[in-house]
């Protein structure tokens, strides 16, 4: 089963020689078209998640579906294998269902638009864009139900479907889809914006082919893919060892009382091919934290990770896919059996980046980062405002970026490319809440020669009654430090009721009824530290204390003694550092904060993380 492209002109493209100046011009023009896709989307979408936060991923691919420019890699190959039908000029495909497109998209709130690009009757390229919709129907507002046991509980499933046929909008189909979501106006405008972005890229591709010639355009795309292949081949041979390396990390829980869930991966190289084997990863969860990880999707994660680590000037595309072999056992957390729930896949997705860092860093510790992707925390707030109008907020939070070989991790930031926070002024203007605190959490970043970035505390004062859900991670396991760096602080969620009582929330909680005046402290994790904290310049520690990023007591984690006047006590600092080094000994490469059993035991006594009555440790997969 595979899609078939119908062309009125079936003459083949010819691979020809293209001079380097022309290649560079077209490469930059394609890159600009990819940026223009974002610009069109952000200026025409309505939802804050896309318009303000940038939760979308653009792409321009060659006629075979290989991404030539874009943000995260191609999903067209999986779609083409799964779609049973024909495609013609003017068609626009819409889908959101991982199970009907070989996980080209990984959960239902992400809607993909794909446009085959034609010129003179020949299919020459693809443009595609997907965006996270504010709602997809299903059990809860925001459509990421923690307790879902099946994808049928997560909202409307759209198989690969022609939203436009030969340029004509299928209005009845669109109205049927929008009838099944809570935010139909936002979804309508966001979907129109996705289509407009793809059509913009299509026009730019046609203009380039008109200017330079079809064969030059086709050949340049092939050259761009080959450049990436050669660059990635050199990188893989440089950083991936022939001797296997193994790394394990955990998703803390599934939100329904089970966990932690282990993600295990073994990496080695055969010739120029990097092999990732996820054998030993825990079985799929009963709830929605499963992550249906398409093998090509992991390849693009690996490519994006390594290129940004080694040389961000390398153009990221799909040219290197033949150099990576990915093996994911069926029935595991990363390849669940249909119809497993998938909406909460963000937690495992984030942990994949920490796993890659731990794997690759074992061969080049001086070049590795600590842990800090960790998750993409979500807040949902929904209900009726004082005018009786329905409102629905979906917001992505930010944590601490890990300490890095080149310096400290940024405080309160996102590792997703291009993501930004929704301005507090925007949130307060459009939703019945007030943000009373928005600042980094001192000492939450792991101590190190290069400090881990601090997490954020955001205090939301609710101005009407409503329902809140929170989704986060790293409440049990720590964002680990490396090369002597200490782990970052874990996340917490604290709800202070209007009557003065306090309620600690689980990291994955939904359907929480809040009253007007209640205050939620949404505290995220810090990034792990990099390098020996006792080697950090004491003046940098003093500066961090002055800026409120490290407390006076927290400076002692670096072996730095701050006097009452705010200056460094050099003599006391030297004495303390010598004693701490002797007590600690030679640090390990990784600092996880203890074994998983030690961490679980410690959490049993920390009631704000895990009250003794919760069944989270009654049983688990690991």
| CA dist., res. 35 & res. 64, Å (int) | 22
Determine, yes or no, domain membership for 347. no
pLDDT for residue 170: 98
Q: Tokens 């993909």, residue?
A: 112
Determine, yes or no, domain membership for 156. yes
Which residues, including other chains, have CB under 8 Å from residue 189's CB and lie 6 or more apart?
Answer: 44, 45, 46, 47
Do both 402 and 549 map to the same domain? no
pLDDT for residue 621: 35
Q: How far is CA 258 from CA 41, 253, 347, 521, in A?
A: 39, 6, 14, 25
pLDDT for residue 85: 87
Determine, yes or no, domain membership for 327. no
Kindly report the pTM of this predicted structure.
0.93
Determine, yes or no, domain membership for 616. no
User: Where among 517, 532, 547 does a domain terminate?
Assistant: 532
Phi first, then psi, for residue 596 (nearest 5°) are -60, -35
Exposure on the CB side of residue 36, measured as CA atoms within 13 A: 17
Do both 507 and 538 map to the same domain? no
| CA dist., res. 255 & res. 616, Å (int) | 9
Decide: helix, strand or coil at residue 129: strand
- How many CB atoms sit inside 10 A of residue 589's CB? 14
Which two tokens mark 616? 């989270």
Determine, yes or no, domain membership for 291. no
Do both 469 and 554 map to the same domain? no
Do both 378 and 422 map to the same domain? yes
Determine, yes or no, domain membership for 524. yes
pLDDT for residue 620: 35
Contact 452, 527 (CB under 8 A): yes
pLDDT for residue 297: 87
Do both 92 and 222 map to the same domain? yes
Do both 499 and 561 map to the same domain? no
Mean pLDDT by 10 residues, the chain (622 residues): 84 95 97 95 92 88 93 75 89 94 89 96 95 96 96 96 97 98 97 97 98 97 96 93 95 92 97 97 96 91 84 86 96 97 94 92 87 84 96 91 93 76 92 96 97 96 97 94 96 94 93 97 95 97 96 96 95 97 95 90 68 36 34
Q: What is the CA radius of gyration of the chain?
A: 25
User: Where among 232, 259, 277 does a domain terminate?
Assistant: 232
What's the 3-state SS for 20-72? Answer: HHHHHHHHHHHHHHHHHHHHHHHHHCCCHHHHCCCCEEEEEEECCCCEEEECC
Do both 514 and 544 map to the same domain? no
Can you say whether the dihedral through the CA atoms of 77, 83, 88, 92 is positive or negative?
negative
Determine, yes or no, domain membership for 429. yes
Which two tokens mark 60? 């321009």
Q: Which residues of 328-338 are buried (b: 16+ CB within 10 A; e: fewer)?
A: beeebbbbbee
As beta bridge partners, residue 276 has 267, 326
Phi first, then psi, for residue 164 (nearest 5°) are -120, 135
Do both 43 and 184 map to the same domain? yes
| CA dist., res. 189 & res. 46, Å (int) | 6
Determine, yes or no, domain membership for 496. yes
Alpha-carbon dihedral 28, 29, 34, 36, rounded to 10 degrees? 120
Q: How many domains does the chain have?
A: 3
User: Where among 503, 532, 561 does a domain terminate?
Assistant: 532
Do both 86 and 100 map to the same domain? yes
Do both 478 and 573 map to the same domain? no
For residue 550, the enclosing domain spans: 533-586
Do both 539 and 506 map to the same domain? no
Contact 2, 87 (CB under 8 A): no
Do both 393 and 424 map to the same domain? yes
Q: Tokens 């020809």, residue?
A: 16
Q: How far is CA 92 from CA 95, 199, 332, in A?
A: 10, 9, 34
């Amino acid at each position: 089963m595979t899609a078939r492209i119908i062309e009125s002109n079936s003459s083949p493209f010819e691979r020809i020689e293209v001079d380097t100046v022309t290649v560079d011009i077209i490469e930059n023009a394609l890159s600009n078209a990819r940026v223009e896709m974002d610009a069109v989307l952000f200026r025409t979408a309505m939802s804050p998640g896309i318009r303000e936060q940038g939760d979308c991923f653009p792409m321009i691919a060659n006629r075979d579906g290989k991404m030539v420019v874009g943000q995260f890699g191609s999903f067209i190959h999986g779609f083409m294998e799964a779609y049973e039908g024909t495609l013609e000029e003017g068609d626009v495909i819409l889908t959101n269902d991982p199970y009907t497109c070989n996980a080209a998209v990984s959960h239902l709130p992400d809607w993909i638009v794909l446009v085959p690009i034609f010129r003179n009757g020949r299919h020459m390229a693809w443009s595609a864009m997907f965006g996270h919709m504010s709602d997809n129907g299903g059990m809860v507002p925001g459509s990421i139900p923690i307790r879902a046991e099946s994808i049928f509980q997560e909202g409307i499933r759209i198989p690969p479907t022609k939203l436009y046929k030969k340029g004509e909008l299928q209005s009845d189909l669109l109205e049927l889809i929008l009838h099944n979501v809570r935010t139909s106006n936002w979804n309508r405008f966001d979907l129109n914006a996705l289509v407009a972005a793809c059509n913009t890229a299509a026009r730019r591709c046609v203009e380039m082919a008109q200017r330079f010639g079809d064969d030059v355009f086709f050949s340049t795309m092939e050259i761009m893919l080959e450049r990436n292949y050669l660059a990635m081949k050199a990188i893989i041979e440089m950083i991936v060892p022939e001797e296997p390396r193994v790394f394990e990390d955990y998703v803390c829980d599934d939100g329904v009382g089970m966990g932690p869930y282990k993600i295990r991966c073994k990496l080695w190289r055969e010739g120029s091919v990097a092999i990732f084997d996820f054998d030993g990863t825990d079985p799929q969860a009963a709830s929605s934290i499963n992550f249906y990880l398409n093998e090509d999707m992991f390849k693009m994660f690996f490519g994006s990770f390594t290129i940004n680590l080694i040389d961000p000037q390398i153009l990221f595309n799909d040219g290197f896919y033949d150099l990576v072999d990915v093996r994911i056992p069926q029935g595991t957390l990363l390849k669940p059996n249909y119809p497993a729930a998938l909406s909460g896949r963000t937690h495992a997705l984030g942990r994949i980046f920490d796993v890659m860092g731990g794997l690759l860093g074992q061969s080049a510790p001086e070049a590795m980062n600590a842990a800090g992707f960790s998750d993409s925390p979500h807040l949902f707030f929904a209900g009726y405002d004082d005018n009786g109008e329905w409102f629905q907020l979906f917001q992505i939070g930010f944590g601490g970026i890990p300490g890095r070989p080149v310096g400290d991790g940024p405080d309160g930031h996102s590792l997703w490319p291009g993501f930004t926070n929704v301005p507090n002024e925007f949130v307060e203007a459009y939703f019945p809440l007030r943000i009373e605190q928005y600042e980094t959490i001192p000492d939450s970043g792991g101590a190190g020669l290069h400090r881990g970035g601090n997490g954020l505390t955001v205090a939301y004062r609710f101005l009407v009654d409503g329902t809140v859900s929170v989704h986060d991670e790293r409440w049990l396991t720590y964002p680990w430090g490396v090369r002597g760096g200490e782990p970052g602080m874990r996340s917490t969620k604290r709800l202070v009721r209007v009557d003065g009582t306090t309620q600690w929330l689980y990291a994955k909680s939904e359907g929480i009824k809040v009253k007007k005046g209640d205050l939620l402290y949404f505290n995220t994790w810090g990034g792990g530290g990099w390098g020996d904290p006792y080697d950090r310049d004491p003046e940098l520690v003093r500066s961090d204390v002055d800026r409120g990023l490290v407390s006076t007591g927290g400076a002692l984690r670096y072996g730095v003694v701050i006097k009452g006047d705010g200056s460094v006590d050099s003599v006391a600092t030297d004495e303390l550092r010598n004693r701490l080094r002797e007590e600690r000994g030679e640090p390990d490469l990784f600092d996880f904060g203890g074994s998983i059993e030690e961490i679980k035991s410690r959490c049993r006594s920390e009631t704000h993380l895990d009250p003794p009555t919760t069944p989270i440790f009654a049983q688990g997969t690991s």
